[in-house]
Amino acid sequence: MRRTSAFAATLAFALLSGCASYNASQSPKLDYSLSAQRSAVQANGMQLMAKPVHQEEELKTYYSNDLVRWEVLPVELYLENGRSEGGGKLYIPREGVSLVDQEGNSHPLLGLEQVMDKAGRSYWRTAGWAFAFGIIGGAISAAQVSQANEKMRTDYSERMYQDSELGPGESVSGVVFFSIPKHLESIDGWHLGVVCTNRQGDKTLLEYPLAGKIALRQDDRAGSGDGQPEI
């Protein structure tokens, strides 16, 4: 009995200290990537590079969370105004960025609070194991989870793409988050759309083709939901 309790305590501690913590590395810059440069699209002097991040290991490395599991797809983008000096500024609002599937359906662009509502739940569910064991105090678990979520919120907020106005030669990068269907298996045939507007109100649409197979997560293959207790 003591061995069982000791094992449960060790497992609960490992879950909280490992999973209920936020440790994300910065993603490599797209404008330094040769593959991103080769696949860049251009229109009316504007250049767009983009990368949807859906592989589990990359998500855990750069976002400290398998966001696809929570039905969130981060797309990293880089925009550059390659116009000559007399070309004028271009306005690129965040709401002008869209994700469109192969059937022409647009998928919702998520704000910070919406991302947190989805992704932040992962840490609370991890803490649920500790609560279920009844070994680690709720106050300790809640403190660790709240700290991890606050670090996530700050990092995502700083990296999230914001409304931008680019003059000739200027560039901007950031991350946009989209809601995607559960158990999505592919983004082949999808595209990212970005609308740019000049001072006269003329609009330019950049369309970046996306592709990639999304591996089913272990819980999806098992058909067992998220595999963790609700709290």
Beta bridge partners of 206: 194
Tally the domains of the chain.
1
Taking 60 as the threshold, does the pLDDT of residue 10 lie above it? no
For residue range 93-117, what is the model confidence (pLDDT) as tens digits? 999 999 999 999 999 999 999 999 9
Domain of residue 202, CATH code: 2.60.40.3880
* Ranges 42-51, 170-179, 186-195, 221-230: which has the least confidence: 221-230
Give me 144's structure tokens: 């660790």
The larger pLDDT score, comparing residue 135 to residue 88, is at: 88
Q: How far apart are CA 197 and CA 23, in angstroms?
A: 37
Taking 90 as the threshold, does the pLDDT of residue 136 lie above it? no
Give domain status of residue 20, yes or no.
no
* 111-141: b (≥16 Cβ within 10 Å) or e: eeeebbebbbbbbbbbbbbbbebebbeeeeb
**pTM assigned to the model:** 0.81
Domain that holds residue 99: 30-119+159-222
* Ranges 98-112, 168-182, 192-206, 213-227: which has the least confidence: 213-227
Helix, strand and coil in the chain, % to nearest 5: 40, 25, 35
Give domain status of residue 128, yes or no.
no
